[in-house]
């Protein structure tokens, strides 16, 4: 996986080197000051992050360029955020959305001349809040990898994020029951959430 490939200083240096320009095998040997066996090992570990062009020069693939952007976002060693931090961030986000939603629904709001005076919890309101929560998580994670809760706890979602992945990985978090299934499957694969492993998204400590 991309993250294991990036969790070694030599491989990170190779990615950074190739982000500047394409280089020969010999240039890498000289700049990294390693023997051929060690360089071959790390090049193999980088897998589809690198490739050779028609001149035989090593360069980054599109996936390698995305890996370079991750290197720029996270510390030298990628440290996965603890389950406690992730859970705390989740509840901070959840209660923030609940608070804003309740303020909107409870306090009288003038809409088209009609003032809403009473608030009764109905399935419609619950579903609306959950949808708002899902949209909030999706937009913020897609834009910068951080929701309010994640920012407060200094953690971030990194990887090949896009709006589709953000929506899919946050759907279980908004609707609870899928989240329970996600976490149970994650335990089987030694990760907090199975969907993060599938999407190649990791929550890291900054």
Which of 17, 44, 73 is the last residue before a domain boundary? Answer: 73
Are 143 and 43 part of one and the same domain?
no
Boundary (domain end) residue, out of 18, 49, 73: 73
Residue after which a domain boundary falls, among 39, 73, 107: 73
Residue 102's H or E segment, with its range, is helix 83-106
Please say if the pLDDT value at position 148 is more than 80: yes
pLDDT tens per residue, range 167-181: 999 999 998 888 899
Which domain range does residue 28 map to?
Answer: 2-73
Both 161 and 115 in one domain: the answer is yes
Same domain, 53 and 147: no
Q: Beta-strand (E) ranges in the chain? A: 50-52, 58-60, 110-111, 114-115, 155-159, 201-205
Tracing tokens 């390698």 back to the chain, one arrives at: 64
Same domain, 66 and 91: no
- 190 with 106, same domain? yes
Q: Into how many domains does the chain fold? A: 2
Same structural domain, 54 and 89: no
Residue 111 sits in the same domain as residue 62 = no
Predicted confidence (pLDDT) at residue 192 exceeds the cutoff of 90: no
Q: Is residue 78 part of a domain?
A: no
Tell me the pLDDT tens digit for each residue of 15-51. 999 999 999 999 999 999 899 999 999 999 998 899 9
Q: Which residues of 58-78 are buried (b: 16+ CB within 10 A; e: fewer)?
A: bbbeebbebbbebbeebeeeb
pLDDT grade, residue 150 (50/70/90)?
very high
User: What φ, ψ does residue 57 adopt, rounded to 5°?
Assistant: -85, 145
In the predicted structure, residue 121 carries a pLDDT above the cut 90: no
pTM assigned to the model? 0.72
Residue 35 lies in a domain: yes
Does residue 69 sit within a domain? Answer: yes
Residue 67 and residue 90 in one domain: no
What pLDDT is stored for residue 103 in this prediction?
77
- Domain membership of residue 98 (yes or no) is yes
Is 44 within the bounds of a domain? yes
CATH code, 17: 1.10.10.10
């Amino acid at each position: 996986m991309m993250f294991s490939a990036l969790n070694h200083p030599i491989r990170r240096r190779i990615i950074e080197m190739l982000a500047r320009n394409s280089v020969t095998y010999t240039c890498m040997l000289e700049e990294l000051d390693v023997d051929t066996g060690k360089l071959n090992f790390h090049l193999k570990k980088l897998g589809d992050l690198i490739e050779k062009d028609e001149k035989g020069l090593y360069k980054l693939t599109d996936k390698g360029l995305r890996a370079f952007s991750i290197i720029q976002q996270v510390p030298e060693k990628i440290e996965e955020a603890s389950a406690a931090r992730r859970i705390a961030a989740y509840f901070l986000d959840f209660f923030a959305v609940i608070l804003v939603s309740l303020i909107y629904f409870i306090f009288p709001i003038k809409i088209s001349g009609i003032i809403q005076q009473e608030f009764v919890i109905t399935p419609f309101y619950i579903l609306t809040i959950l949808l708002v929560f899902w949209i909030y998580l999706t937009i913020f994670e897609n834009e910068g990898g951080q929701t309010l809760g994640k920012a407060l706890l200094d953690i971030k979602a990194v990887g090949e994020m896009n709006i589709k992945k953000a929506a899919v990985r946050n759907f279980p978090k908004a609707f609870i029951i899928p989240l329970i299934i996600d976490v149970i499957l994650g335990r089987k694969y030694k990760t907090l959430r199975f969907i993060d492993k599938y999407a190649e998204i990791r929550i890291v400590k900054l």
